[in-house]
C-alpha cells in the first residue's frame, strides 16, 4: 500500500494516485479553485495514534514520582543513601543474581535524588509521549520494560558489585527503538520530520553517553544496554512487524526477547558461579 507523497497518509489499496484526496482538496483550496463552502475534512496526522483516557506515559511518570515520594517519606530526605534504595528495590548484582530477580524490574522506577528524577522524568515525558503515539500503548510498554531489564543486566555484567537505580536504561531503550525505526523508515511521516527527529535522538543518545563517561556514579553500562536492546527492537519491528495490525508478530518478537534476556541472566549467574534460584537472597539480611 502506497503513501501520499505530500503528507505520508496511506492511499487506498490498488490506487495509482500519488497524492491523497485530502491533499488534492487542500491544494485546490490554496489555489482558490475550490468552492467557498467546501469543507476541508479534518484528518489526524498519520503518524499520531490517539488513545483515549490516561496515557501510559502518565502512568509511568506517576509510578516513578509515587515511589520517589515514598522513599522521601521513609528516609526524611530527597537524596537517598544506598540502604534506602536497596530496601525499595535497587538493582544490586549480588542480591539480584542470588534470587531477587525482581530487582531488574523495580530498579527502573527508583531514583537516587531530586536531580536524578527530574532529569529522567523530563526525558520520559518527551520520549515516552513520542514512542506511545507512534508505536501504540502495548508495544511501547513492552519496549520500555524489556529494554529496562536489558539495561539492568548490562549493569551487572559490567560491575557486579555496584547498585543501580533509575529509568534511564529504559529511556535509552525508547531512544534506540525510535532511532532504528526512523532510520529504517517504519513510520509514515514527512521526510523533513523524520530527519529532524532522528538527528535529535542521535544527539540525545551520544551526548548523554559522553556525559555518563565523564562523571563517576552514572551507570553508563545500563544506558548502553538499554540503547542497544532498543535499537534491536526498533529494527526488528520495522522489518518484521511495521504495522500495528501485525500484533502476533510483535508478540513473537517480545517473547523471543524475553527468552533471550532470561538466558542471558542465567548465563551471568553461571559465570559468577551462582546457582540459579528465586527468592530472598541469602546475602540480604
- Catalytic residue list contains 223: yes
Residues 6+ apart with CB under 8 A from 168: 120, 123, 151, 208, 219, 222, 223, 226
Residue 260 to residue 272: CA distance in whole angstroms: 19
- Say if residues 218 and 168 touch (Cβ distance below 8 Å): no
Torsion, Cα of 86, 80, 217, 177 (10° steps) = 70
Catalytic residue among 111, 155, 181, 223: 223
Catalytic residue among 133, 164, 168, 229: 168
Residue 150 to residue 164: CA distance in whole angstroms: 13
| CB count in 10 Å sphere of residue 76 | 7
Any idea which residues carry the catalytic annotation? 168, 223
Amino acid at each position: 500500500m502506497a503513501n501520499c507523497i505530500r503528507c505520508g497518509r496511506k492511499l487506498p489499496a490498488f490506487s495509482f494516485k500519488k497524492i491523497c484526496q485530502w491533499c488534492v482538496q487542500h491544494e485546490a483550496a490554496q489555489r482558490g479553485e475550490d468552492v467557498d463552502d467546501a469543507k476541508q475534512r479534518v484528518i489526524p496526522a498519520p503518524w499520531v495514534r490517539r488513545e483515549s483516557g490516561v496515557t501510559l506515559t502518565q502512568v509511568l511518570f506517576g509510578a516513578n514520582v509515587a515511589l520517589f515520594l515514598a522513599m522521601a517519606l521513609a528516609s526524611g530526605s530527597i537524596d537517598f543513601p544506598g540502604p534506602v534504595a536497596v530496601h525499595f528495590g535497587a538493582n544490586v548484582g549480588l542480591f539480584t543474581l542470588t534470587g531477587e530477580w525482581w530487582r531488574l524490574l523495580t530498579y527502573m522506577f527508583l531514583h537516587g535524588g531530586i536531580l536524578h528524577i527530574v532529569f529522567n522524568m523530563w526525558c520520559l515525558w518527551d520520549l515516552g509521549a513520542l514512542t506511545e503515539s507512534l508505536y501504540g500503548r502495548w508495544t511501547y510498554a513492552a519496549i520500555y520494560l524489556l529494554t529496562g531489564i536489558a539495561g539492568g543486566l548490562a549493569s551487572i555484567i559490567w560491575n557486579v558489585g555496584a547498585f543501580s537505580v533509575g529509568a534511564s536504561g529504559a529511556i535509552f531503550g525508547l531512544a534506540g527503538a525510535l532511532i532504528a525505526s526512523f532510520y529504517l523508515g517504519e513510520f509514515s511521516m514527512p521526510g523533513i520530520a523524520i530527519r529532524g527527529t532522528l538527528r535529535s535522538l542521535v544527539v540525545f543518545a551520544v551526548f548523554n553517553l559522553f556525559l555518563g563517561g565523564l562523571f563517576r556514579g552514572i551507570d553508563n553500562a545500563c544506558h548502553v544496554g538499554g540503547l542497544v536492546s532498543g535499537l534491536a527492537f526498533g529494527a526488528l519491528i520495522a522489518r518484521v512487524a511495521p504495522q500495528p495490525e501485525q500484533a502476533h508478530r510483535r508478540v513473537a518478537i517480545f517473547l523471543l526477547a524475553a527468552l533471550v534476556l532470561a538466558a542471558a541472566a542465567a548465563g551471568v549467574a553461571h559465570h559468577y558461579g551462582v546457582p540459579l534460584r528465586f527468592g530472598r537472597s541469602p546475602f540480604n539480611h
